A and B are shown apart, each in its own frame.
Chain A
Amino acid sequence: MLLNVTWTPRMPAAPPLTASGVYLQGHAARGLARELLTAPLPPLEAVFIAEGIVLLGPAEQLPWRDGALYLGRDAAEPRLYLPSTLAPSVPVEWLAAALARQHGLHPPYALTESKTVIPLAGARPLDAATLTRRIAA
């Protein structure tokens, strides 16, 4: 899904968004899924997509992996998860309105710098069975 919006670093004009989600793709996502099964699961919600996994929850619970994209929410539209270090070239409320009007998309979802939209309405608490199925897939 392509959007006509550009992204620029938030600092110094504005502070970074507080991380409340993380998006991992490919090997990093699969490696994380395997590791999560070896310990008590953190209190996070997960959305699984073909490219990877989005985890939602408090910053201190989010895992770190090299290449992870941390997501935060702007108070102007808290149902949109945006890259925590980047600001879109249009107000987030306009972004949400444009996505709804032009593409029939409604929050919650995550937007990435590569202009990908990841629907998050299906977010569910992390569970071992789902993780196992994803690893096997």
Chain B
Amino acid sequence: MDTVNPEASLAPLSAALAAAKQGLVDRGVLVDLVVLSAVAGEHALVIGPPGTAKSQAVRRIANALGGQYFEYLLGRFTEPNEIFGPVDLARLREGVVETLTTGMLPEAEIAFLDEVFQGSSAILNTLLGILQERRFRRGLTMMDCPLRICVAASNQLPEDPSLEAFADRFLVRVFVDRVPDPSLDELLASGWTLTDRLNAVASVNDLRAAHEAMRAVDLAAVRPLLAAALRELRGAGIVLSDRRAVKCQRLIAAAATLAGRAVASNADLWPVIYALPTLDQQTLAQEKLRAMLAASDNATLPSAAEDASAGPLARARRIEKAGHALLAARPAQPDHAWQLQLEGVAREIDATFHASQMPEAIAALRRSLVAELRA
């Protein structure tokens, strides 16, 4: 295994996130959470209606990361061969059941399984082993899997208790919906030109390095905060299983790692929202934990940090990033369209931050925007 400097991996991972998000509308949170989950060594379950760019978002981040990617749409009649590979007929003639896994899920580093709950028990049982142990077993075939993350998708959460147990293996839950009305124009414009073919700007080695750094993060300061958050949630009737509560720490450590921190702080508590299994629980938790998550901040995962916390720091960082990117893209002859975009950022700043509480970085950005708009 190549030795990669964890700190040196942050820049390529940031670049991969930016490349994957470009052109996607309202899917920044999903892309952020795929990388967060991968660094944490966990898997993600995306719930949302068909045609909401779930697979496109995952495909784009997989391409940007350059990983061995496997994607499949499961149906009620999907055979295990279609996911794990066909039986080796030559070996079968010798009386041995082995699986040819080339190009199939057992050899994938990033996997996307659409309509995962449609899979048969044979598929889901084998998948469980891959998800939990990163190990594929079928007949005489036993191999370690290089899987960094499996993202599964479904239109809705399963109601069958037997499927709930399988669903519980996906620590991170992301709920997506059709883009809101105000974003439709942007969706139509970007969707017309968007391509899934991205050049890799990072590698799975960067994910691996970040994962190793995650395991070394100091959580001593944040554990009491997490415990307090869990008690607050219990008081609101939201009970996280002990297993999910413990595993939450991996998400928090991953958030700290991706923020460039070796010691987790209250700025990294926000992933706890995404460990909650249902949308109602996540929405209620955002309200109950608002004060605790106010300091949330993550330069690498700004969309998810802001979405989870609605915190001023996370919001300010997103606006700052968007504003500076716009100023950097100043056309040679500034046109009305560009000015409207500048006005949009200025409007969001003034509608979000009262002058008495405006962070200095936002105030500086505002001065730059006003200078351009008055020019």
Contacts and interface: CB of A to CB of B under 8 A. Distances in A.
Contacts of B182: 58-60
Contacts of A11: 294, 312, 352-354, 357
Interface stretch (B6-14, B36-44, B85-93, B341-349): B341-349
Interface of A is mostly: loop
B350 A64 contact: yes
Contact of A68 (B291, B350, B354): B350
B351 interface: yes
B347 A19 contact: yes
Interface residues of A, number: 23
Contacts of A68: 347, 350
Interface in B145-186: 182
Contacts of B343: 63-64
B291 A59 contact: no
Contacts of B333: none
Contacts of A62: 347
B271 interface: no
Contacts of A59: 182, 347, 351
A12 B356 CA distance: 13
Contacts, number: 57
Contacts of B354: 9-11, 83, 85-86
Contacts of B350: 64, 68, 70
Given A9-B354, A59-B182, A70-B351, A15 B344 contact: no
A68 B349 CA distance: 11
Interface string B293-326: 0100000000000000011100000000000000
Nearest to B344: A60
Interface in B322-375: 343-344, 346-347, 350-354, 356-357, 370, 373
Contacts of A12: 290-291, 294, 311-312
A16 B370 contact: no
Nearest to A58: B182
A43 B310 CA distance: 29
Question: Which residue among A12, A62, A85 has the maximum number of chain B CB atoms within 10 Å of its CB?
Answer: A12
A13 interface: yes
Interface in A41-74: 58-60, 62-64, 66, 68, 70, 72
B352 A16 contact: yes
A14 interface: yes
A85 B347 contact: no
Contacts of A86: 354
Nearest to B357: A9
Contact of B351 (A13, A58, A66, A85): A85
Contacts of B353: 11, 16, 85
Contacts of B356: 9
A9 B310 CA distance: 15
Given A59-B347, A86-B354, 14 more contacts: A11-B352, A11-B354, A12-B294, A12-B311, A15-B290, A16-B351, A16-B352, A58-B182, A64-B343, A66-B370, A70-B350, A83-B354, A85-B351, A85-B353
Interface of A: 9-16, 19, 58-60, 62-64, 66, 68, 70, 72, 83-86
22 contacts: A9-B357, A11-B294, A11-B312, A11-B357, A12-B291, A12-B294, A13-B290, A14-B290, A16-B352, A59-B347, A59-B351, A62-B347, A63-B343, A63-B347, A64-B343, A64-B346, A68-B347, A68-B350, A72-B351, A84-B352, A85-B351, A85-B357
